[in-house]
Amino acid sequence: ELKVEQNPLFLSMQEGKNYTIYCNYSTTSDRLYWYRQDPGKSLESLFVLLSNGAVKQEGRLMASLDTKARLSTLHITAAVHDLSATYFCAVRRAAQKLVFGQGTRLTINP
């Protein structure tokens, strides 16, 4: 059974700092997604990573994938308050269902 674990689950950081959220998954999978969720809202798609070594960047967020380690990272550079949200990774194996991590609640303080 595919399991996805994120850490940390809670992250409070100062504006201007860098930090990384980790996403580990238990079995070989063919695609990994990162989503953002604001309070009371649905999911916003951030990245999809398909292959080993894939790196994608959008603004202050950068996601990477290491399929051998079964690990993805979401790196935040010079954080700003607007990035405060809950971030989910989700993994899918072949034609099976999407499995979500627990989510990381990120709070960025001025």
Partner 1 sequence: GAVVSQHPSRVICKSGTSVKIECRSLDFQATTMFWYRQFPKQSLMLMATSNEGSKATYEQGVEKDKFLINHASLTLSTLTVTSAHPEDSSFYICSARQGINQPQHFGDGTRLSIL
Residue ranges that bind partner 1, judged by CB under 8 A: 33, 40-43, 45, 48, 88, 95, 97-98, 100-103, 105
Question: In 1-110, where do the E strands start and end?
Answer: 4-7, 10-14, 19-25, 31-37, 43-49, 55-58, 61-66, 71-76, 85-92, 98-100, 104-109
Residue with tokens 């990035």: 83
Q: Is 82 helix (H, G, I), strand (E, B) or coil?
A: helix
Minimum distance between the CB of residue 38 and partner 1, rounded to whole angstroms? Answer: 11
Minimum distance between the CB of residue 29 and partner 1, rounded to whole angstroms? Answer: 13
Q: What angle do CA 21, 22, 24 make, to 5 degrees?
A: 160
- The residue among 78 and 98 lying less far from partner 1, judged by its C-beta, is 98
- The residue among 13 and 48 lying less far from partner 1, judged by its C-beta, is 48
- The residue among 15 and 58 lying less far from partner 1, judged by its C-beta, is 58
Minimum distance between the CB of residue 105 and partner 1, rounded to whole angstroms? Answer: 8
Minimum distance between the CB of residue 19 and partner 1, rounded to whole angstroms? Answer: 20
Q: How far is CA 91 from CA 37, 63, 79, 81, 103, in A?
A: 17, 14, 25, 27, 13
- The residue among 50 and 78 lying less far from partner 1, judged by its C-beta, is 50
